[in-house]
Amino acid sequence: MQIDIIDEAINFFRANVLFRKFEVRSAADKLLIYLTLYINMALKRIEACKIEAEGIKVIISLGLEKFPIPGEPGFPLGGLFSLPQSKKEADLFRNYLKQVREETSGRLMGRVYRPNGTPNKWWLAFAKKKFMNIMLPF
């Protein structure tokens, strides 16, 4: 069984979030950095949710929010990604990130909440950590 970039980001999140520096060797590393920041932001949002149903509502609303892409104010990884060259490319990039964020959110919920619907404190404790001293606005 092969794991994809989303599984890798979730599986190694708790170790990666402790890094202050992260060496970028490929495009996959760039996406891994973005997903690590996104997971951190998602955990921060659902940290206060005591039951899984509340967490699901919060994570769905997070998926519906507009978020910045490279070249827009507020994008946290300015020099890491190249700027879109056209409106069409910007829309394609936004749609890709939206799809990745939604899939990550869905898979993350299975880790953050136990089968009985209670929060897993061993995951939510990492909401307070800053990956590379960066935290996405929540």
Q: pLDDT value at position 138?
A: 46
Instruction: Check residues 133 and 37 and name the one with the higher pLDDT.
Output: 37
pLDDT exceeds cutoff 90 at 10: yes
Q: pLDDT value at position 78?
A: 79
Q: pLDDT value at position 135?
A: 65
Q: pLDDT value at position 1?
A: 67
Per-residue pLDDT of 109-124, as tens digits, reads 999 999 999 999 999 9
Fold of the CATH domain 5-128: Arp2/3 complex 21 kDa subunit ARPC3 (1.10.1760)
Per-residue pLDDT of 42-93, as tens digits, reads 999 999 899 999 999 999 999 888 999 998 988 888 788 889 999 999 999 9
Q: pLDDT value at position 88?
A: 97
Mean pLDDT of the chain: 90
What is the chain written as a DSSP string? ----HHHHHHHTHHHHTT-S-----SHHHHHHHHHHHHHHHHHHHHTT--SHHHHHHHHHHHHHS----TTSTT-S-TTTSPPPSSHHHHHHHHHHHHHHHHHHHHHHHHHHB-TTS-B-HHHHGGGG--BTTB----
